[in-house]
Structure 1
Amino acid sequence: MRQRWVSVLICAAVSAAATTACGSGGASQSPDGKTELTIATFNEFGYEDLFKEYEAAHPDVKITQRKTGQGQPHHQNLFTKLGAGSGLADIEAVEEGYLSQVMAKASQFNDLKEIGPQIEDGRWLKWKSDAVTTKDGKLIGYGTDIGPLAMCYRKDLFQQAGLPSDPEGVKTLFATWDSYFAAGDQFVAKVPGVAWFDNAAQVFNAMHNQHQVGYYDRDDKLVVESNPDIKADWDAVTKAVSKGQSARLAAFSNEWNTGFKLGKFATKTCPSWMLGVIESQAGPENKGKWAVADAFPNGGGNWGGSYLSVPKQSKNAKKAAELAAWLTAPEQQIKAFKAKGTFPSQVKALDAPALLEQTNPYFNDVKAGALFATQAKKVTAAQYKGPKDGEIQETVFSPALQSVEQGKNADEAWRTAVQGAEKAAK
């Protein structure tokens, strides 16, 4: 995700046949008589100021946000309430790892082509919109962000280790995964008490997302054990753990949050949305210590991405679709990127001067928009995500890698992960 992360996130939309049904229960109103629109998100979407802007332009609308800290509980809630037939927000966010499960339940979401406002053709990168279009042409979600990958690092800690610390100088360290882990060996030997990266799962997930084939093939067949790329990534990461490169801090835990502030690790795999996470967790006292380079081992990739949807449960489906369409317009997505680093998936936004000239004061005034636009152009397609992809990542592989960090034998943990994936996929 969206940690896209974002972290990176996906929202689904409701089917045209449900427009009447959506309104059958009557529109939801706040005590002051305004139409209340609820939107359920997770991690950081950068929408807080946009909600205020929309309410100012639409005085008859009140927006209530339901914000969850992580993607897994958000999606568990989404699928539970889909099954129950009630309780969902007017707009629900869905992360890419859970998209296949949402598409399998497309009949419970509105077709945004039918209930939504007129939207210009080609608003989104083609692979982005294709992912939420059903075989019969229904659009289940409006694309928000993507997660082009770069590498973030602590300049001051690199200097302590005698490593290059300027964005150009570090590119050789981040050229390949071999060079990255080799630099990690140098770092931990020179800076006792500080790790090279935060945790094994965050590195593994970034490596994994670079491959054309992940946990599933395009026929939705689980290929965890037969895909050699997954095992190669596992071996590389667990070897680095054995050499002391991991801070062993579970992502988005209180200890992980504190780790940013206390400088417990020197590098962070950085999809664009991670900039907002780092700034919020590292705090103002670390401003200028973190830097981001337009480089990533083995050439880059995409991690995360989101959509906004309108479930058929919504009592305000049409107005919800109008809000979702507005939030995912290029102008608003550029503002969201400036707020939290959620990188736009809209074609016009990627070439907009407002994006390309945007700087990030926390990261030494780097032109973050141009940097991630460069990284985004290295992505030609998103990895296909199978039915239980998100669940396998978050509840199988991440805990298995954490068990290695806690002392479990890597080969034994691999067998546990394979068995867990097979169980989850049933």
Structure 2
Amino acid sequence: MALACTAALAATAACGSSDAGTTADGKVELTVATFNEFGYEDLLKEYEASHPNIKVTHRKTGKSDDHHQNMFTKIGAGSGLSDIEAVEEGWLAQVMAKSNQFNDLTKIGPADVKPDRWLKWKSDSATTKDGALIGYGTDIGPLAMCYNKDLFAAAGLPTEPEAVKAIFATWDSYFAAGDQFKAKTGDKAWFDSAAQVFNAMVNQNKVGYYDVDDKLVVDSNPDIKADWDKVTAAVAKGQSAKLVAFGNEWNTGFKTSAFATKTCPSWMLGVVEKQAGPENSGKWAVTDAFPEGGGNWGGSFLTVPKQSKHPKEAAELAAWLTAPEQQIKAFTSKGTFPSQVEALTAPALLEQTSAYFGGAKVGALFAEQAKKVPAAQHKGPASGQIQDKVFNSALQAVEQGTSVDDAWKQAVEGSQKAAK
């Protein structure tokens, strides 16, 4: 049968061509492209079981960068995109710059799915200037602070989560505590990496690397320069461990107590536990405080490209996957913290505790932190590259001895080049 079908116009729907968007038995075939872990494996099977006319093919890529580079290649080619394409927040600005390639979900999605399903800052992030919603929010990474209790005790600092909140009230109080810590401990660092702190600071600002008209403002935004000055001053005082995030030495640093504090999005707890190891259970703690209120690091969206042959069915699947009920299941499966307002009050989330972090009620903690995130900051086309490549490199240069002025010049010129 397969040979006969191939000989007789394999491109027809009757022969089950994926190009036609239907299977051999007449089902609508939807492709879903994700990366890393979304917790969708069992959910997609559940959707197929309740929608017998739908066949779902899951295209899962290991690395976020590989997924997004492949996606942009297919956008340029004008073909090959999946019916649903996941987009990570770091790449969202580049997708928004090509929003005409994606469907407005307020027009093709289920009528009862409104932007207020999500935290406002989450849905606002995927809304264009003319009001088109191009992505349904999946997970988020609300920020709290993690700290090493043994190192805090050695410096004469309080160690219990409630007692340390004053330390993490503002960036000024945070860096002042770092001075106290260094005075008492000498060779130990206050934080892991200048870039890890700086990125959190910049993302809290009302205006980031671009203004709302997509004009690059790195050299004219006083908030960015103020953040830079505070972080580099802390580096000069020895507060940074000078580690490259997610590198081997950084990984080992959790186990060897190389630094006392860590900016901690919800998903970072798993990283800390893995890298510090079982022998350090109870040594690391997390508190529901973050300098200047709150912030977010991480999270994704589900989009429906205009290349989709079944946009309505794709939007229905994307809406179902991002419904509060399914997001709680994904959270239970893979720890992806939900962005839906209703999900943030679900008992399955609020009752979650972490034995590794001393029994902390981490579900309720991060649900509260999510509500503290300020309005969505506008991201320009090269915002992700400027943060992850340009400023990270410039701050690493400072940590390795480059003068602050020279590194700032490097950051400004690198941003201008990235924005061209």
Name the TM tier (shorter chain).
Answer: 0.7 to 0.9
Structure 1 counterpart of 2:92, from 67, 76, 99: 99
- Structure with bigger gyration radius: 2
| 1:225-264 mapped onto 2 (5 Å cutoff) | 225-264=219-258
Are residue 120 (structure 1) and residue 90 (structure 2) matched? no
Q: Structure 2 CA distance, aligned partners of 1:112 and 1:81?
A: 21
What is aligned with 1:15? none
What is aligned with 2:210? 216
- Structure 1 residue matching 2:211: 3-state secondary structure: coil
Q: 1:361 to 1:403 in 2, by over 3 A?
A: same
Q: 1:286 to 1:84 in 2, by over 3 A?
A: farther
- Structure 2 residue matching 1:170: 3-state secondary structure: coil
Structure 2 counterpart of 1:174, from 143, 168, 179: 168
Are residue 417 (structure 1) and residue 417 (structure 2) matched? no
Residue 83 of structure 1: CA displacement? Answer: 1.2
CA contact (8 A) 1:275 1:340 kept: no
- Structure 2 residue matching 1:241: 3-state secondary structure: helix
| 1:379-398 mapped onto 2 (5 Å cutoff) | 379-398=373-392
CA contact (8 A) 1:97 1:385 kept: no
Residue 291 of structure 1: CA displacement? Answer: 1.4
> Normalised by the size of structure 1, how large is the TM-score?
0.83
What is aligned with 1:131? 125
- Structure 2 residue matching 1:40: 3-state secondary structure: strand
Residue 211 of structure 1: CA displacement? Answer: 0.9
- Structure 1 residue matching 2:342: 3-state secondary structure: helix
Unaligned runs of 5+ in 2: 1-16
Letter aligned with residue 80 of structure 1: T
Structure 2 counterpart of 1:364, from 344, 358, 362: 358
- Structure 2 residue matching 1:214: 3-state secondary structure: coil
Aligned residues: 400
What is aligned with 2:284? 290
**Cα deviation 1:314-344 (Å, max 9, x = unaligned):** 4665554344222211122233344555432
Q: Structure 2 CA distance, aligned partners of 1:297 and 1:252?
A: 23
Q: 1:127 to 1:185 in 2, by over 3 A?
A: closer
What is aligned with 1:19? none
Q: 1:137 to 1:184 in 2, by over 3 A?
A: closer
Q: Structure 1 CA distance, aligned partners of 2:131 and 2:213?
A: 20
| 1:155-174 mapped onto 2 (5 Å cutoff) | 155-174=149-168
Q: Structure 2 CA distance, aligned partners of 1:86 and 1:321?
A: 19
CA contact (8 A) 2:84 2:314 kept: yes
Q: 1:217 to 1:162 in 2, by over 3 A?
A: same
Residue 125 of structure 1: CA displacement? Answer: 2.5
Structure 1 counterpart of 2:76, from 83, 93, 101: 83
Are residue 378 (structure 1) and residue 369 (structure 2) matched? no
Q: 1:381 to 1:136 in 2, by over 3 A?
A: closer
Residue 136 of structure 1: CA displacement? Answer: 5.2
Q: 1:193 to 1:395 in 2, by over 3 A?
A: same
- Structure 2 residue matching 1:299: 3-state secondary structure: coil
What is aligned with 2:13? none
Letter aligned with residue 108 of structure 1: Q
Residue 403 of structure 1: CA displacement? Answer: 1.3
Letter aligned with residue 406 of structure 1: Q
Are residue 321 (structure 1) and residue 315 (structure 2) matched? yes
Q: Structure 1 CA distance, aligned partners of 2:43 and 2:243?
A: 33
Q: Structure 2 CA distance, aligned partners of 1:117 and 1:215?
A: 35
CA contact (8 A) 2:140 2:337 kept: yes
| 1:145-156 mapped onto 2 (5 Å cutoff) | 145-156=139-150
Q: Structure 2 CA distance, aligned partners of 1:24 and 1:46?
A: 25
C-alpha RMSD over aligned residues:
2.9
Q: 1:225 to 1:86 in 2, by over 3 A?
A: same
**Cα deviation 1:376-405 (Å, max 9, x = unaligned):** 222341111122111111121111111112
Q: Structure 2 CA distance, aligned partners of 1:55 and 1:193?
A: 57
Q: 1:320 to 1:188 in 2, by over 3 A?
A: farther
Residue 106 of structure 1: CA displacement? Answer: 1.9
- Structure 1 residue matching 2:178: 3-state secondary structure: helix
Are residue 111 (structure 1) and residue 114 (structure 2) matched? no
Residue 203 of structure 1: CA displacement? Answer: 0.2
Ranked by relative contact order (alpha carbons within 8 Å, sequence separation 6 or more), the top structure is 1
Q: 1:157 to 1:41 in 2, by over 3 A?
A: same
CA contact (8 A) 2:149 2:283 kept: yes
Q: 1:326 to 1:194 in 2, by over 3 A?
A: farther
The range that moved more, 297-306 or 314-323, is: 314-323
Residue 26 of structure 1: CA displacement? Answer: 2.2
Are residue 330 (structure 1) and residue 324 (structure 2) matched? yes
What is aligned with 2:190? 196
> Normalised by the size of structure 2, how large is the TM-score?
0.84
- Structure 2 residue matching 1:362: 3-state secondary structure: coil
Residue 264 of structure 1: CA displacement? Answer: 2.4
- Structure 1 residue matching 2:240: 3-state secondary structure: coil
Residue 170 of structure 1: CA displacement? Answer: 1.0
CA contact (8 A) 1:40 1:89 kept: no
Q: Structure 2 CA distance, aligned partners of 1:205 and 1:125?
A: 22
The range that moved more, 152-161 or 308-317, is: 308-317
Letter aligned with residue 201 of structure 2: M
- Structure 1 residue matching 2:139: 3-state secondary structure: strand
Residue 49 of structure 1: CA displacement? Answer: 5.5
Q: Structure 2 CA distance, aligned partners of 1:244 and 1:425?
A: 33
| 1:21-100 mapped onto 2 (5 Å cutoff) | 25-27=19-21, 35=29, 37-42=31-36, 44-47=37-40, 50=43, 54=47, 61=55, 63-69=57-63, 71-100=64-93
- Structure 2 residue matching 1:151: 3-state secondary structure: strand
The range that moved more, 260-269 or 389-398, is: 260-269
Q: 1:298 to 1:111 in 2, by over 3 A?
A: closer
Q: Structure 2 CA distance, aligned partners of 1:184 and 1:67?
A: 40
Structure 1 counterpart of 2:398, from 404, 409, 426: 404
